[in-house]
């Protein structure tokens, strides 16, 4: 359908934008890239009476590195992140995931902050943020900035802990170490389709043993999930086939994925095991071959 | 503020200032307000690619943009590409390879193909297929489109050397 009517604002400053969000509260939504919000509005799944377009605010799309943290501005286009040397070298898991998001034209407009705030359970960026223990920095006119750990950020289906008067400002992501290997595996029927199930995997390897592992799944619930049972099996272990199999099996244990026309619940659960195993194999291979 | 906005945008090189409802998408603005009906509405969800145009030289789904979001940008539609001399080799190659039947998907493909032809490095077949994976065609089965694009890229390379 065509979009419903709304009042439109395109503030030129962040302060003005935050004042508008404070004024309009839950009647307003932030417009970032629009690649998720506009289709939702067209399908009447979202019905804000006010849109605050962040597209005219400068300096919200930077990539900066401080010590071992990479900071990504909320309005950074997915395409810019995809082409960034810093992202490729310091956030390899994100670099793996970005080309899987939709298509060229979608990534040219879609933003990192928008994807995080939208929190689709089958979306790549929220899953990467969860896997890497990112910090989502939000801001409001009344309370200033606050940082929300990814583990606390995703609350449920398309639901985050952002307050009505808040907007995502940036994502702070711990950079990969030289010992880190990553892999992002997803199952989609066609290139660029929404993923049915996906796995984000990062492992750190020291002296032939896995010192730590991070595994997050998408498409298996109403929100992305960290698989800490699987991570505990891997931590401190030698990466034997038995160990990896046990971890992959643990990653899908206790899952109750949805069934829809793209995949049944048992299928998704099975694919979670398969993708985690593939992800571990590839992440380990890259951890061991990548130069420091 | 109200639900009407003034869109100040350059379309195919022509600067314009038009007042529309804020909820007007870029594709409806192009088709209805500017009568540039070359750009098509397919799924209206960003999936099919029929609405693809160039905004500041990069491909964008005009069904997933508000017209007002294109303010201060340069928008190029299929009508504009027809006047772009760099596209002449593309049109010839696609004609030779029978790359279109009903033509509904074609303007969206042309916008995406324009970005391939103008890219600084020559994409190989895998890169062409990946780049065009966001454009759906119900008629051709895609092979003739891929063949045409590869032919155009080959001829562009020959013209340059």
Q: What is the pLDDT of residues A223-243, one digit of tens each?
A: 999 999 999 999 999 999 999
In angstroms, what separates the C-alpha of B53 from chain A's closest C-alpha?
9
Euclidean distance between CA atoms A200 and A184, whole angstroms: 5
Average pLDDT over residues A1-30: 96
Question: Could you identify the residue written with the tokens 């193909």?
Answer: B113
The answer to whether B112 contacts A31, with C-beta atoms less than 8 Å apart, is: no
**Window 14-43 of A, Cβ < 8 Å to B:** 31, 34-35, 38-39, 42
The answer to whether B68 contacts A5, with C-beta atoms less than 8 Å apart, is: no
The answer to whether A8 contacts B61, with C-beta atoms less than 8 Å apart, is: no
The answer to whether A35 contacts B23, with C-beta atoms less than 8 Å apart, is: no
pLDDT digits (tens, 9 = 90+) for A171-213: 999 999 999 999 999 999 888 888 999 999 999 999 999 999 9
Average pLDDT over residues A104-120: 97
pTM above threshold 0.90: yes
At residue A292, does pLDDT exceed 80? no
- Partners of A70 in the β-ladder: A65, A173
The answer to whether A34 contacts B65, with C-beta atoms less than 8 Å apart, is: yes
In angstroms, what separates the C-alpha of A94 from chain B's closest C-alpha?
19
Q: Does A10 touch chain B (CB under 8 A)?
A: yes
CB A81 within 8 A of CB A112: yes
Question: Could you identify the residue written with the tokens 């969206």?
Answer: B108
At residue A94, does pLDDT exceed 90? yes
Among partner residues B25, B46, B133, which is closest to A3 by beta-carbon distance? B25
Q: Does B9 touch chain A (CB under 8 A)?
A: no
Strands (E), chain A: 7-9, 28-31, 50-53, 63-66, 69-73, 135-140, 144-149, 154-156, 159-160, 166-174, 180-187, 197-206, 209-218, 225-226
In angstroms, what separates the C-alpha of B132 from chain A's closest C-alpha?
9
Taken in order B123, B124, B130, B135, is the CA torsion positive or negative? positive
Q: What's the distance, Cα to Cα, between the start and end of chain A in Å?
A: 52
Euclidean distance between CA atoms B89 and A210, whole angstroms: 54
Which residues in chain A have Cβ-Cβ distances shorter than 8 Å to B23? 2-6
Band (pLDDT 50/70/90 cuts) for residue A56 is very high
Q: Does B123 touch chain A (CB under 8 A)?
A: no
% pLDDT > 70, chain B = 99
At residue A291, does pLDDT exceed 80? no
Which residues in chain A have Cβ-Cβ distances shorter than 8 Å to B45? 39, 42
At residue A290, does pLDDT exceed 60? no
Average pLDDT over residues B40-55: 96
The answer to whether A35 contacts B131, with C-beta atoms less than 8 Å apart, is: no
**Residue B92 carries which DSSP code?**
H
Question: Could you identify the residue written with the tokens 């009517």?
Answer: A5
């Amino acid at each position: 359908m065509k979009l419903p009517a709304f009042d439109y604002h395109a503030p030129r400053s962040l302060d003005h934008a935050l004042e508008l969000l404070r004024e309009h509260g839950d009647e307003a939504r932030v417009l970032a890239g629009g690649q998720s919000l506009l289709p939702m509005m067209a399908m009447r799944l979202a019905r804000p009476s006010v849109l605050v377009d962040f597209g005219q605010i400068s300096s919200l799309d930077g990539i900066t590195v401080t010590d071992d943290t990479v900071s990504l501005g909320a309005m950074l286009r997915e395409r810019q992140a995809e082409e960034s040397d810093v992202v490729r070298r310091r956030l390899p898991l994100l670099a793996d995931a970005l080309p899987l998001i939709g298509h060229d034209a979608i990534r040219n407009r879609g933003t990192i902050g928008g994807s995080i705030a939208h929190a689709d359970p089958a979306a790549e960026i929220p899953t990467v943020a969860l896997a890497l223990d990112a910090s989502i920095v939000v801001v409001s006119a009344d309370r200033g900035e606050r940082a929300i750990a990814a583990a606390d950020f995703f609350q449920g289906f398309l639901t985050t802990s952002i307050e009505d008067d808040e907007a995502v400002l940036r994502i702070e992501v711990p950079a990969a170490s030289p010992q880190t290997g990553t892999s992002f595996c997803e199952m989609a029927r066609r290139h660029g389709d929404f993923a049915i199930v996906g796995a984000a995997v990062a492992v750190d390897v020291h002296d032939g043993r896995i010192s730590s592992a991070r595994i997050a799944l998408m498409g298996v619930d109403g929100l992305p999930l960290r698989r800490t049972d699987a991570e505990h099996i891997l931590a401190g272990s030698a990466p034997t086939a038995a160990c990896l199999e046990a971890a992959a099996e643990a990653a899908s244990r206790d899952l109750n994925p949805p069934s829809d026309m793209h995949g049944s619940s048992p299928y998704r659960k099975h694919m979670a095991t398969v993708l985690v195993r593939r992800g571990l194999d590839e992440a380990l291979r890259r951890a061991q071959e990548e130069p420091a | 503020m109200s639900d009407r906005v003034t869109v100040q945008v350059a379309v195919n090189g022509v600067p314009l200032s038009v007042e529309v409802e804020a909820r007007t998408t870029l594709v409806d603005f192009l088709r209805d307000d500017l009568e540039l009906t070359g750009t098509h509405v397919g799924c209206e969800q960003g999936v099919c690619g029929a609405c693809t145009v160039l905004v500041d030289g990069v491909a964008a789904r005009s069904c997933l943009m508000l017209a007002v979001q294109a303010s201060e940008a340069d928008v190029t539609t299929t009508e504009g590409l027809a006047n772009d001399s760099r596209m002449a080799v593309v049109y010839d190659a696609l004609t030779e390879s029978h790359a279109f039947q009903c033509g509904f998907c074609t303007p969206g493909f042309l916008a995406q193909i324009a970005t391939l032809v103008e890219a600084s490095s020559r994409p190989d077949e895998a890169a062409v297929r990946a780049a065009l994976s966001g454009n759906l065609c119900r008629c051709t089965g895609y092979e003739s489109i891929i063949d045409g694009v590869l032919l155009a890229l080959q001829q562009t390379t020959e013209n340059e050397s």
